[in-house]
């Protein structure tokens, strides 16, 4: 089977879905491919900073999200010996230090908006099997397998790889990337928030371990443990209660919820931590955005926001080109020219934050 479209976007995360929505609004024919059958996997970047908030507000999309799913966080606290030793507050009285939005809610809102336009097609449960090229090596689409098991060739003017840190588009295009470990991995768990818990982020060092709390919309707290890189296999040989008791020792108020809802290793999700930079973001007919182009660590919650900025800039470049009936090659190159410097500065900022983390407690 074969179908034609102007833009084929691979990856239905925040970057790919936002790009599809913005392009569809302006009349572009867009096909959005996503391998997951249901939007919004757990334990992904879900904190909007000022950059991500600006992008969504600019396009009138933040207001499309269910109000109960939008939780402004009121402060960031650093704890030592069960007490707050440093507090970071918003810049203004009505500001915040980040906004938590569950990824599923963000994606559903973007998909609902895009779904109003007949020129938008969403293909969940679909995997990429390869890329199409013409005789000159220009990328002209993708071969996919649908949720129904059909093999389809999607031919397009542009292929966008928005398919994350292990990007299939990047791999099929043979684009090298430089990957750097950061010396740690993360274990995540989610528990119901205690009654009266404020919308805050907390961070501490307990028994030599970095622990982080992120209040989530709809009454949850996400907990993150920094563990030594590649140590999870050995860690699982020990009682999981060692981790939970460390958490309780740092934040005693969480004890009832921790003991009730973290009852085995199955309640943890492992995230291997690394950053990466693709050698190139664009090739003729193809471009990478978000984690596919520049994987970031969770530090500072920059990844989601930089990906949204990528989508915003790329949609501007593509529309300008399409409306004037120009070649799309220069707009694809301009995305990298406009965005690479900002992204690499953020990656350096993350490294600096990780290196100087302990200084937050030397007060």
- List the chain domain ranges: 2-43+102-180+276-358, 183-271
Cα–Cα distances in angstroms (integers) from residue 318 to residues 6, 24, 256, 311, in the given order: 11, 12, 52, 10
User: What does CATH list as the number for 183-271?
Assistant: 3.30.9
| Res 116: pLDDT | 97
Segment 147-171 shows an average pLDDT of: 97
Percent of the chain with pLDDT over 90: 88
Q: Does pLDDT of 152 surpass 80?
A: yes
pTM of the model: 0.95
Helix boundaries (H) for the chain: 14-25, 50-58, 103-114, 168-173, 232-235, 241-250, 255-261, 303-323, 329-355
Burial annotation 323-332 (CB, 10 A radius, 16+ → b, else e): eeeeebbebb
What confidence tier does 326 reach under pLDDT thresholds 50, 70, 90?
A: confident
Q: Does pLDDT of 320 surpass 90?
A: no
User: What does CATH list as the number for 2-43+102-180+276-358?
Assistant: 3.50.50.60
Which string of DSSP letters, residue by residue, matches 123-186?
Answer: EET-EEEEEEE-TTS-EEEEEEE-TTS-EEEEE-SEEEE---TT-HHHHHHT--EEEEE-SEEE
**pLDDT tens, 57-85?**
999 999 999 999 999 999 999 999 889 99
Burial annotation 272-297 (CB, 10 A radius, 16+ → b, else e): ebebbbbebbbbbbbbbbbbbbbbbb
Measure the N-to-C terminal CA separation of the chain; round to a whole number of Å.
65
Q: Does pLDDT of 363 surpass 60?
A: no
Q: Does pLDDT of 359 surpass 80?
A: yes
Q: Does pLDDT of 291 surpass 80?
A: yes
Q: Does pLDDT of 43 surpass 70?
A: no
**pLDDT tens, 170-221?**
999 999 999 999 999 999 999 999 999 999 999 999 988 899 999 999 999 9
CB atoms within 10 A of CB 213: 23
């Amino acid at each position: 089977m074969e179908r034609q479209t102007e833009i084929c976007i691979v990856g239905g995360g925040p970057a790919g879905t936002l790009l599809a929505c913005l392009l569809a609004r302006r009349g572009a024919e867009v096909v959005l491919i996503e391998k997951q059958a249901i939007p919004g996997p757990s334990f992904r970047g879900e904190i909007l900073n000022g950059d991500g908030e600006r992008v969504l507000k600019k396009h009138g999309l933040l207001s499309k999200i269910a109000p109960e799913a939008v939780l402004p966080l009121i402060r960031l606290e650093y704890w030592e010996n069960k007490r707050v030793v440093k507090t970071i507050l918003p810049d203004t009285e009505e500001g915040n230090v980040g906004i938590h939005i569950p990824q599923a809610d963000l994606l559903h809102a973007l998909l609902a908006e895009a779904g109003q336009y007949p020129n938008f097609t969403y293909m969940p449960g679909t995997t990429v099997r390869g890329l199409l090229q013409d005789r000159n090596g220009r990328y002209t689409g993708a071969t996919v397998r649908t949720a129904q098991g059909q093999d389809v060739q999607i031919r397009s003017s542009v292929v966008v790889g928005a398919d994350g840190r292990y990007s299939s588009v990047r791999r099929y295009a043979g684009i090298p990337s430089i990957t750097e470990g950061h010396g740690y991995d993360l274990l995540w768990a989610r528990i119901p928030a205690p009654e009266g818990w404020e919308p805050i982020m907390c961070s501490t060092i307990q028994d030599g371990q970095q622990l982080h709390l992120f209040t989530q919309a709809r009454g949850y707290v996400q907990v993150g443990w920094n563990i030594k890189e590649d140590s999870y296999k050995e860690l699982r040989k020990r009682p999981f209660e060692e981790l939970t008791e460390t958490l309780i020792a740092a934040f005693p108020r969480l004890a009832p919820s921790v003991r009730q809802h973290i009852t085995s290793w199955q309640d943890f999700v492992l995230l291997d931590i690394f950053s990466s930079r693709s050698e190139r973001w664009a090739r003729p007919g193809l471009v990478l955005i978000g984690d596919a182009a520049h994987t970031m660590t969770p530090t500072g919650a920059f990844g989601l926001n930089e990906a949204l900025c990528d989508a915003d800039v790329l949609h501007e470049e593509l529309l300008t080109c399409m409306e004037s009936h120009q070649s799309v090659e220069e707009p694809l190159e301009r995305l990298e020219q406009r965005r690479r410097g900002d992204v690499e500065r953020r990656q350096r900022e993350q490294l600096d934050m990780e290196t100087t983390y302990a200084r937050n407690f030397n007060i």
